[in-house]
């Protein structure tokens, strides 16, 4: 996971294509094609989830920097 200090709201647009691909699902015919399609769709969903987790980690880092331990 890559830590990203940008808010997820600024990054989410880069992953809008994932739902656009998911909307194509009914058009995929054949068992082999379905398997490949689902593999790519799940790979992109995982990448989006990792990017979101990276943004959350960046947000956590920003909060932790503001804590005063003195």
pLDDT interval class at 69 (50, 70, 90)? confident
Q: What per-residue confidence (pLDDT) applies to 36?
A: 98
Q: What per-residue confidence (pLDDT) applies to 55?
A: 98
In angstroms, the CA 56 to CA 47 distance is 14
Residue-wise pLDDT for 2-24, tens only, equals 999 999 999 999 999 999 999 99
pLDDT interval class at 68 (50, 70, 90)? confident
The answer to whether residues 38 and 26 touch, using CB atoms and an 8 Å cutoff, is no
Q: What per-residue confidence (pLDDT) applies to 6?
A: 97
In angstroms, the CA 1 to CA 49 distance is 10
The Cα-based distances of 65 to 20, 38, 61, 62 in angstroms read 37, 40, 6, 5
The Cα-based distances of 51 to 54, 61, 66 in angstroms read 5, 15, 23
């Amino acid at each position: 996971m890559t830590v990203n200090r940008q808010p997820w709201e600024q990054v989410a647009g880069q992953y809008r294509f994932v739902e656009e691909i998911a909307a194509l699902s009914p058009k995929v015919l054949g068992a082999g094609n379905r398997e490949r399609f689902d593999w790519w769709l799940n790979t992109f969903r995982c990448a989006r989830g990792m990017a979101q987790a990276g943004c959350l980690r960046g947000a956590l880092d920003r909060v932790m920097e503001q804590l005063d331990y003195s």
